[in-house]
């Protein structure tokens, strides 16, 4: 039996780090708050006498040895949050993994495979793109050097931020080789709750496409510049944002589209913007549909910029193909219901 009270109290204690006044918390990756969270969780690993390791991108894991020389069954998630994060997002997966190990230790249960709990660095991608960075590096899906050079929203690179909080470890990327990976995660959307379901087995991960657009036009006086003579970067950005929404509408579920960041320059009430930088997050569980959504958006952006006498450039911040989870593991989840 796991100790649900111990699990809840750990979730609450971790949630006090970076707590927001109205509830929830903010522990952006590799900030001092993240460092405090890492220290707390690693302290719990240490109290159980587990073998702790940290790799070059700050992924940290703890192992309870198994009876046989086999790769570990890994449980975990992340402890970084977005700027308006919930208490359970990521932390549940890490602390539930810890709880499984502690309960097994208390009950004297020995397993063939080692049991491992891990927290991956920058899974949220809120400070540094892309998301799922630590696990991507661990699995060889993302290049370590490129990720270390990735600039954050404040200009600091991942490498600098890792060193800033002393989170860079000696273990090489890919040192953690799981036999299987299990993650308990709070639902990140409202569907289970709307349908009054307690729990679901996740079937896969959406394909993710993050693009940063920069539109360049010409600043001009808002009062005296006739509309046909404008090269309004803000107008083009607004059109592209509307098109992203139209794509989601036309494609239908599960296509989703989000403009999460947008900044105009010079960002003044009475000046036509000379530049606009913004992001579009497109997701779909089918790779062909995702590519079609990207193609439509990119073509629209070119045309919208041209029509306004502006130019547009784009930069890919994240691109992951959809993943379908292992059928055997999913079936095991259903059998246990």
Ligand X SMILES: NC(=O)NCCC(=O)O
Chain contacts with ligand X (rule: CB under 6 A): 89-90, 123-125, 131, 188
Hey, is 279 helix, strand or coil? Answer: strand
> What is the smallest separation between the CB atom of 46 and ligand X, expressed in angstroms?
25
> What is the smallest separation between the CB atom of 334 and ligand X, expressed in angstroms?
22
Give the residue with the Cβ less far from ligand X, 135 or 275.
135
> What is the smallest separation between the CB atom of 90 and ligand X, expressed in angstroms?
6
Give the dihedral sign, CA 75/329/66/140.
negative
Give the residue with the Cβ less far from ligand X, 72 or 125.
125
> What is the smallest separation between the CB atom of 244 and ligand X, expressed in angstroms?
16
> What is the smallest separation between the CB atom of 131 and ligand X, expressed in angstroms?
4
Give the residue with the Cβ less far from ligand X, 31 or 275.
31
Q: Phi/psi zone of residue 267: left (φ > 0), alpha (ψ -120 to 50 degrees), beta?
A: left
Other Cβ atoms less than 10 A from the Cβ of 19: the count is 16
Give the residue with the Cβ less far from ligand X, 232 or 281.
281
Closest-approach residue to ligand X (CB): 131
> How many residues in the chain?
337
Hey, is 265 helix, strand or coil? Answer: strand
- Residue 218 has phi, psi (to 5 degrees) of -140, 130
Give the residue with the Cβ less far from ligand X, 137 or 272.
137
- Residue 57 has phi, psi (to 5 degrees) of -110, 10
Burial class (CB in 10 A: 0-12, 13-18, 19+), 200: exposed
């Amino acid at each position: 039996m796991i100790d649900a009270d111990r699990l809840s109290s750990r979730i609450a204690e971790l949630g006090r780090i970076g707590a927001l006044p109205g509830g929830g918390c903010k522990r952006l990756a590799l900030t001092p708050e993240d460092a405090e969270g890492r220290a707390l969780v690693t302290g719990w690993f240490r109290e159980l006498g587990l073998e702790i390791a940290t790799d070059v991108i700050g992924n940290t894991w703890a192992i309870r040895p198994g009876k046989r020389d086999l790769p570990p069954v890994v449980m975990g998630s992340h402890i970084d949050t977005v700027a308006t994060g919930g208490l359970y997002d990521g932390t549940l997966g890490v602390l539930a993994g810890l709880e499984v190990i502690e309960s097994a230790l208390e009950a004297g249960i020995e397993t063939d495979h080692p049991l491992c709990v891990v927290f991956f660095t920058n899974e949220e991608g809120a400070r540094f793109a892309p998301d799922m960075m630590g696990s991507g590096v661990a699995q060889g899906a993302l290049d370590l050097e490129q990720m270390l050079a990735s600039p954050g929203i404040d200009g600091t690179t991942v490498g600098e931020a890792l060193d800033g909080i002393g989170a860079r470890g000696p273990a090489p990327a890919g040192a953690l080789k799981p036999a299987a990976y299990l993650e308990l995660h709070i639902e990140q959307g409202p569907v289970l709750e709307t349908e009054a379901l307690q729990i679901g087995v996740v079937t896969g991960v959406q394909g993710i496409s993050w693009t940063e657009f920069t539109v360049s036009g010409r600043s001009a006086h808002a009062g005296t510049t006739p509309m046909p003579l404008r090269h309004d970067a803000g107008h083009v950005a607004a059109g592209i944002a509307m098109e992203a929404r139209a794509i989601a509408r036309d494609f239908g579920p599960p296509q989703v589209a989000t403009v999460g960041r947008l900044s105009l320059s010079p960002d003044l009430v009475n000046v036509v913007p000379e530049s606009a930088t913004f992001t579009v997050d497109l997701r779909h569980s089918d790779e062909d549909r995702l590519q079609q959504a990207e193609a439509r958006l990119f073509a629209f952006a070119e045309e919208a910029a041209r029509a306004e006498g502006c130019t547009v450039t784009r930069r890919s911040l994240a691109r992951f193909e959809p993943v379908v989870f292992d059928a055997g593991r999913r079936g095991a989840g259903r059998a246990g219901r």
